[in-house]
Amino acid sequence: MKATLATIAVLVLALSWTSEAVRVEENGLSFSLEAVMRLQELTESSGAGQQSPRLRASTGSLCADPMLPQEFLPLCRLRGASASLSRLAMVPMDVCEICAFAACTGC
C-alpha cells in the first residue's frame, strides 16, 4: 500500500515538472511558457498587434492588468520592462514549444 502511494506521488511530481519544463528567458528572468502565452493573449486582446509600435506604449497598462501572470511582476519593476514585454509578446510559440528558439529552454 505504501509503495503504491509513493509511486503515485512520484508520478504526480513528474507530471508537474514536465508541464512547467519549458521556460522562456528574458532580461535575466525566467518565465513559464504558459505565462508567456497568457501575455501574448493579453497583448492581442488589448488591440496592440505583435508588430505594432503601440505595444511599447501599452506595457504600462499590461503591468497594471490584474490578468497578467504574477511571475511578470518582477520584470515590470525593472527599467526596460516595456522592451522586455514587447520581446516576450513576439516569441514564436510554435517554435518555442520545440525549443528551436534561443530564449526557450527545458525541452
* Mean pLDDT of each 10-residue bin along the chain, 107 residues long: 55 47 86 92 69 52 90 92 89 75 73
User: Residue 10 has what pLDDT?
Assistant: 46
Contact yes or no for 36/91 (Cβ under 8 A): yes
Tell me which residue of 47, 46, 31, 45 sits closest to 87, measured CA to CA: 31
Q: What's the predicted TM-score (pTM) here? A: 0.67
Please check whether residue 100 is in contact with residue 106, taking contact to mean a CB–CB distance below 8 angstroms: no
